[in-house]
Amino acid sequence: MRTVLLTGFEPFAGDAVNPSGDAVRALAARWRGPERLVTEVLPVTFDGATTRLAALLEVHRPDVVVATGLAGGRAAVTPERVAVNLADARIPDNAGHRPQDAPVVDGGPAAYFATLPVKAIGAALADRGIPSTVSHTAGTFVCNAVMYAALHATDGAPVRAGFVHLPWADGTGPGDAPSLPFDRLVDALEVAVRVSLDAGDDAGGVGGEIS
């Protein structure tokens, strides 16, 4: 039986909720397989998130890793294409740690491309009427660190791994921040997991943006 590891994050920066963690829990509750879905809500800390991820990879040996997080200024679901070996935090993480110009992995390569079929995920989301675009930057905060750590740990292995950023869920973001209905976010994660399991080569065509 194939195994999928799906992760989200706890709230951070004083927010009451984080839609990525909530959507991961919701998908776990409705998942019917046939693959085994392992879910986890990670701490928003550089050390804690990457350490917990490493432990999950070691225990569960997943075939697919889909990590998710909140990109509060974005209006669409954004599969990430690139993770960089850089931790450069605009704000402290939930442990008060604020690295500047530090590597995620000492001695690691400058960057990794996602091994998830990001364009195929984006196309499948569009087919479901879910706003989506491929993103070329996962930032330099904990989301990027988790994506980079997942790709570093699975480099050379027959594992698909990557990251999907979500916007706010309706009614949870600050002010007029872009958002989508919560059930659409859960649907988006299910699509990302399903495509990552079932797609062959990634979709063709030009696409993506830096935001």
Whether 143 sits among the annotated catalytic residues: the reply is yes
| Neighbour-count burial for 34-65, b at 16+ CB within 10 Å, e otherwise | ebebbbbbbbbbbebbbebbeebbeeeebbbb
Whether 190 sits among the annotated catalytic residues: the reply is no
CA distances from 79 to 1, 133, 189 (A): 25, 7, 10
| Neighbour-count burial for 142-155, b at 16+ CB within 10 Å, e otherwise | bbbbbbbbbbbbbe
**Token code pair at residue 205:** 């065509």
Which of 10, 35, 40, 80 is the catalytic position? 80
CA distance 143 to 139: 7
CA distance 84 to 22: 26
Which of 35, 143, 190, 209 is the catalytic position? 143
DSSP conformation class of 127: H
Q: Which residues are catalytic?
A: 80, 143
